[in-house]
Amino acid sequence: MQKATRPFDPPVDTTLDGRLIFLIGAPRSGTTLLQRMLGAHSEVVAPPEPHLLTPLAHLGYFETVDKAPYDHINAAEANREFVSRLPEGEEDYVAACRAYADTLYGRLLLPTKKRYLLDKTPAYALVLGFISRIFPDARYVVLTRHPLAILHSYAHSFFDGDYRRAWEFNPILSRYVPKIARFIREKPVPLVHVRYEDLVKDPRTQVGRLLEHLDLPMEEGVIDYGDHEHIKGSFGDPITVNKHQRPVTDKVEKWAEDLAARPDDLSFVENVAATLDPSDLEVWGYPDATLFEAVHRTGGTPTKLSALNRHRLARKVMLALKEPVRTNRLGVGEAVRKVRYYCDVLLR
């Protein structure tokens, strides 16, 4: 007997654009904290970072994947040629991308009966043009933090406080500061911008601004986020944020105390800061002229390495394994590529 075929299943909801919140911020800028706070609101569901839209942005029409198990150049050319034949061209492609995301977002959001779904994926800051094109009516919340605090957190979280090694592995500020600054400056969509330092020093005022942008009433649970049950997952930084029940200020100038005690590292970080566009820093809320003020007014206290936990251990193991592959130290990279090739052949 012929098996019945399932008819085309349309998106659960084609109006999710206005029910999505995108929390935009660089890694190590406090986005997990703000995600927890907004996710504690009774009208918001905040799953762990889904990384749903970054692959969609690199299918070839807007951006390409340089290393992928297909010819990305041919795929991009064919994609554009195909889209050119659609009745509405690029608008049809944008609508298709939106329908894909709407289906997945909708099937998570609608059963909860809540108003908003919040997506906090730091890598989205690198494809903001794509996301704002696909979801022009979503609510956007942009979180910035002192750039050197971000670098300090990145270096101490994964590289044992080695600023040079952290920067060599990932020049995080060069990647994120210009992209987010452009988004804030040009405002292709309505957004609300908050600084991490202001959020932890005066959470009530800043949360009030955010909830006003989201057209949501104030709830005490948003401040005392630790009393709320959160959805757990593999991505994000669940360690630090779980240490407290509400925002705290103990890390606001920790970066400055560390650099004040380490002159060589301070010199290196000053050179890093000099590569950033002063106009971008101004938009972020940290003018170039005041960038190092905290270093000069604080006492020098090197940051102690935090105790090794599951989250740090996993990242350290990954980075330790990746480094010799990336640099091809002792031919490790070439050997791994050969093993991968033969595995691909065997599994084909």
The rounded mean pLDDT for the chain is 87
Closest among 263, 246, 32 to 157, alpha carbons compared = 32
Q: What is the CA radius of gyration of the chain?
A: 22
User: How would you classify the pairing of strands 139-144 and 20-24?
Assistant: parallel
Structural tokens at position 138: 């979503």
The fold of 11-142+187-239 is: Rossmann fold (3.40.50)
Region 132-150: what's the mean pLDDT?
A: 96
Task: Taking each helix axis as running N to C, give the angle between helix 172-186 and helix 147-158, from 0 to 180 degrees, rounded to the nearest 10.
Answer: 140
For the chain, the structural domain boundaries read: 11-142+187-239, 146-186+253-306, 310-348
Comparing 18-22, 264-268, 323-327, which segment has the lowest mean pLDDT?
323-327
pLDDT of the residue at 11? 45
- The Cα angle at residue 146 between residues 288 and 181, in degrees rounded to 5: 70
pLDDT of the residue at 318? 76
Structural tokens at position 178: 């210009």
pTM: 0.85
- Residue 5, pLDDT > 60, answer no
pLDDT of the residue at 320? 77
Higher pLDDT, 123 or 243: 123
- Residue 192, pLDDT > 70, answer yes
**Three-class SS of residue 45?**
strand
Higher pLDDT, 164 or 7: 164
